[in-house]
Chain A
């Protein structure tokens, strides 16, 4: 059972261009779900559809087990969001902005001071948001999203405009509200490094298609499966024939043999046997793949 899931979500702004193609997001309850993708991949569009800000064209959105088409208001009552840039009334103070949403959500007025404290904005007093720094506005936007103590938090690139220490603070904040209050967080980013340290699950979107979804260790495993071993030998042709006889798929690229990544013991056995055949091994190389590399491979596929 997922707290948020979409089925076959597709979207086009114009006829010629498909911006989203059959997206199946599955956000488990209690998770921090990192929604990753390069610029223009369709993250914001997906999140807008999930929140009902764009009219759905195809597919379904279910949050808390309810269909967005039929239970929009009760879903929104328990969802906090920040899409793209902070949405604040710039001629009002931080407290006034929160007071206004406190009325709309009809939540406890004590929450205002609480979220101001939580986001480190208690000291802003009578200062209007128009004179806030970008980072302060970003934090206030998070405070607005948290105000009504939502079950689900949807944040679209919330660290935009934050300085390094601001980014770390934000990460700590999100981690603590996830752990301590059990709030599920769906957070988008184009930086793997930012999500990697925070998220429990990830979905990677590229060109409007979800190219991976699961936990980070699953992501590593998937990449391992796609990894290769590189051999340089004294007689590549003979080595290739020898390996093929043992049903190992071998490709040759100039002076290098390319094999699928095998278990260590298997590699050791092959090496011994090749030596026995009188083939010298100049180089055996299994490039270490970082998560970063995995990510880049996934988003450079097409």
Chain B
């Protein structure tokens, strides 16, 4: 446990000043900020919007729509590959692997840092979306704060679903980044899989594509094909599968430099 804490601290320090942070921050803020600008631009609509009982859900789903379909998978592909490849970029695997740390701890702490960054991105996105919905009331005197009660439970559930949808992407990008030294391979393969998923949205069996789930949230379907199983089982299974495979690959690598 002491080793895990130490290793986590070290991994966290490695993200300092890295591009991954900028991606998380811009990725979290971008869409809410654009939507906010849009609202200010059409400010005559705001009073009616804020008075409507669906104001929260309307803007939350609008923000999630852009996020889930495009920005989130792209951002996750980039951030995971960036963080996982910090050792390759700096040629530091050889030093890290001569540190007195079990391989399992190194693997686990890298994955934890990536998931923490993702979580941070989610938190930022939610705060920014909340701001996008409420801020106009601060700036315009004739605009009231939304009257409808804040749908706390629904918001948490939505976040949880999208987080789960990202896990296969995290796990597979992590696998690719550990396996290949060339940064272009995980990035290229990731974008390729994302595009395949977009095309697969109209396919009957599209739900088997591991990068599709955040878009699949908007498909109106909640089960796996004609079965009664919730499709969210699939990202969970993929995540475990990919993580297991990448751990085995990492552990059995003959050359740990």
Q: Which residues of A contact B (CB under 8 A)?
A: 48, 51-55, 73-74, 76-77, 79, 81, 83-85, 87-92, 96, 99-101, 103-106, 144
Closest 8 CB pairs of A and B: A87-B95, A77-B100, A87-B92, A55-B254, A76-B100, A73-B100, A100-B10, A103-B9
B257 touches A100 (CB 8 A): no
B10 touches A101 (CB 8 A): yes
- A48-B257, A53-B256 are known contacts. Are A79 and B98 too (CB-CB below 8 A)? yes
Distance in Å from the Cβ of A145 to the closest Cβ of chain B? 9
Q: Which chain A residue shows the least CB distance to B93? A: A87
Neighbouring A residues of B2 by C-beta, 8 Å: 106
A51 touches B98 (CB 8 A): yes
Does B13 touch A at the CB level, under 8 Å?
yes
Distance in Å from the Cβ of A214 to the closest Cβ of chain B? 28
Distance in Å from the Cβ of A46 to the closest Cβ of chain B? 14
- A48-B257, A54-B255, A87-B90 are known contacts. Are A76 and B17 too (CB-CB below 8 A)? no
Does B43 touch A at the CB level, under 8 Å?
no
Does B7 touch A at the CB level, under 8 Å?
yes
- A48-B257, A91-B17, A96-B16 are known contacts. Are A104 and B101 too (CB-CB below 8 A)? yes
Interface size class of B (residues with CB under 8 A): 20 to 34
Neighbouring B residues of A91 by C-beta, 8 Å: 16-18
The residue that B92 contacts in the complex, of A79, A89, A99, with Cβ under 8 A, is A89
Q: Which chain B residue shows the least CB distance to A80? A: B98
Neighbouring A residues of B16 by C-beta, 8 Å: 91-92, 96
Contacts A87-B95, A100-B9, A104-B100 known; list 10 others, CB within 8 Å.
A52-B98, A52-B256, A55-B256, A81-B98, A83-B98, A87-B92, A88-B90, A92-B16, A92-B17, A100-B10
Does B62 touch A at the CB level, under 8 Å?
no
Q: How many A-B residue pairs have CB under 8 A?
A: 83
- Give bound CA distance, A102 to B90, whole Å: 19
Neighbouring B residues of A48 by C-beta, 8 Å: 94, 257
The residue that A99 contacts in the complex, of B13, B86, B95, B96, with Cβ under 8 A, is B13
A sample of 23 cross-chain residue pairs with beta-carbon separation below 8 angstroms, ordered by A number, consists of: A51-B98, A52-B97, A53-B94, A53-B97, A53-B257, A54-B255, A55-B255, A76-B99, A79-B98, A81-B95, A83-B98, A84-B94, A87-B91, A87-B92, A87-B93, A89-B86, A89-B90, A89-B92, A96-B16, A103-B6, A103-B9, A105-B100, A144-B95
The residue that A73 contacts in the complex, of B94, B102, B253, with Cβ under 8 A, is B102
- A52-B256, A54-B255 are known contacts. Are A87 and B17 too (CB-CB below 8 A)? no
- A87-B90, A90-B90, A103-B9 are known contacts. Are A53 and B255 too (CB-CB below 8 A)? yes
Distance in Å from the Cβ of A39 to the closest Cβ of chain B? 18
Chain B positions 79-95 with a Cβ under 8 Å from a chain A Cβ: 86, 90-95
